[in-house]
Chains A and B, each alone.
Chain A
Amino acid sequence: MLCHGGLRIRMHSTIKKEMIIRKGAEANLYYGRWFDKKVIFKYRIPKIYRIEELDKRIRNTRTLNEARALIKVKNYGLNVPQVYDIDTTNSIIVMKFIKGEKLKNKLNNLEDTNKTEIFKNIGSDIATLHMNGHIHGDITTSNIIITKNQKIFFIDFGLHDYSDSIEDKSVDIHLLKRVLISTHGKDYNTCYNAFLKGYKREYTKYNAEECQQIINNIEVIETRGRYVKKEERL
């Protein structure tokens, strides 16, 4: 690991505005070179809209959180970008560049059988995460990348958390469900059912009873939301 000072100089010389490839909600992604390797710099930019103390706290914890999670999750065989280096003072993670397309944009051009296949695999990957006590925290179709040879990559672990509780795992799935309904309305049924199938298949190997509890709990969470009729609450 390089010292932070040295790394910072290197980073500033590589990050140039014209190389920005994506402006996300909380971070900008830049192409760059790191020891002659093609890499991505994920830079959590300071948000001037919030006060400095709060901004520092959020950027710092999320950067560390994400880097740690990416490294750990890789051990379970999930496809995530390899982390090369981190710079906590500037909230930068240097990681491998994944060539592919966001699932959000790709979904419309896929055949139904293909969709089912992809979401089954996503389901079993998320189950692997959950079985090992990891919560992704922000599973959306924008945070999943599909490569040319149909490999599924998970990115953006900024809201990642460690938990073994059924509640946290159900919330994680619930968030994906919400995104599917709101963004991919007409594909929702196909995708969500395939996801659950893949999830169950994988999780049941580990603990069938808990798997069922997690899936049942998703409905409970939904009825806990705002504007749910009393008689429909679980």
Chain B
Amino acid sequence: MKFNKKFCLGIECTAHTFGVGILDFEGNVYSLINDIFIPKEGGLHPVLIKEQHLTNFISTITKALSQANCSIRDIDLIAFSDSPGLAPVLRVGALIARMLSQKLKIPIVGVNHCIAHIEIGRLMCKIEDPLTLYVSGGNTIVSAFESSKYQIFGETLDLPIGNMLDAFARDAGLTHPGGPKIEKLAQESKKYFPLPYVVKGMDLSFSGLYTASKRLLESDQYGKIYNLTDVAYSVQETCFAMLTEVTERALAHTEKEEVLLTGGVAANKRLQSMIQYISHEHNARFEVVPLKYAGDNGAMIGWTGILRYKAEGGKNISETLIKPKERMDQIAVPWRT
């Protein structure tokens, strides 16, 4: 299936997802395979994730190749996630990418995970210059392109939203991932308990909200005058209202005409409706990234890799070090002017 097209294999490996995506240089996706680590108990342990990825990567890549109906020899570019994420996990992704690049003698590029989320959103939703709310287990960022970088207008000062929801779900005895379960529970209640609502300018803080909701679960009254559905409802309403408020502030400040919602938490219908509401209030077009591209996946890494490769060319192996703590507002974005 070559037809003179060039193909990129993107490897997403920052946290619990080992994702492989194959796409051509025009942005058509041919395969998308995820291998997701699901803990038996507790949260995401970096070493356990790393072990699963190391065990499964060959089969995941093979599956992706057969889904795209091509051979590994057809690949012209390897892209991998080099930042930010859990260091042991990032290292696995980098290792696999370097190995493939050297073995196949094809160029390699490292990609920032957060920028990849925005770029795949722009591609899939055919959106030009959005204000992005990126909400996931590891990140909570309000970003827009300004003075040649993806600037961060607002972000969490402590816990990311998905992390907070998962931790709360764990305390409530729900299994990982907690977000969808909380969404379902919250639909069954209309009883609101006031929880800390912390917005500082366009930044957010969720740690107080987490502690307060945990206290609600530990209280004597729990199970008597209120139950888990009520707490889930209160948590969800409070933290989503905070997210919506900062997004609206950023929207009023940047005066962008498009709003993009992405990341794993973007799957939540309640959050979608809230962000949609404020987008319409400000006459901005609202788009949610299609679910399979909103969560972590290999296609977004592949696509951003293609953009970077077209602008800067491939990297030397010595330039493919992982950067677990890199901030997206520090990175040059040569493909956008």
Contacts and interface: CB of A to CB of B under 8 A. Distances in A.
Interface in B145-169: 146-149, 151-153, 155-157
A62 B244 CA distance: 17
Interface in A41-64: 47-51, 53-54, 57-58
B215 interface: no
Given A48-B277, A50-B241, A227 B197 contact: no
A25 B194 contact: no
Q: Which 6 A-B pairs have the closest CB atoms?
A: A185-B147, A182-B151, A25-B252, A50-B241, A175-B201, A49-B274
B251 A57 contact: no
Contacts, number: 97
B263 interface: no
A49 B201 contact: no
B136 interface: no
14 contacts: A23-B282, A25-B253, A49-B274, A50-B240, A50-B241, A53-B192, A104-B253, A138-B201, A142-B252, A159-B201, A175-B202, A175-B203, A182-B152, A226-B139
Nearest to B330: A227
B262 to A, nearest CB: 17
Given A49-B278, A54-B192, A182-B146, A137 B241 contact: no
Contacts of B278: 49
Interface in A95-146: 104, 137-140, 142
Contact of A186 (B147, B201, B237, B249): B147
B295 interface: no
* Chain B contact patch, size range: 35 or more
* Chain A contact patch, size range: 35 or more
Interface string A185-221: 1100000000000000000000000000000000000
B208 to A, nearest CB: 15
B325 A228 contact: yes
Contacts of A139: 201
Given A142-B253, A178-B153, 5 more contacts: A50-B241, A57-B194, A182-B151, A182-B153, A186-B147
A111 to B, nearest CB: 20
A104 B146 CA distance: 14
Contact of A51 (B147, B192, B199): B192
A185 B146 contact: yes
Interface string B279-309: 0011000000000000000000000000000
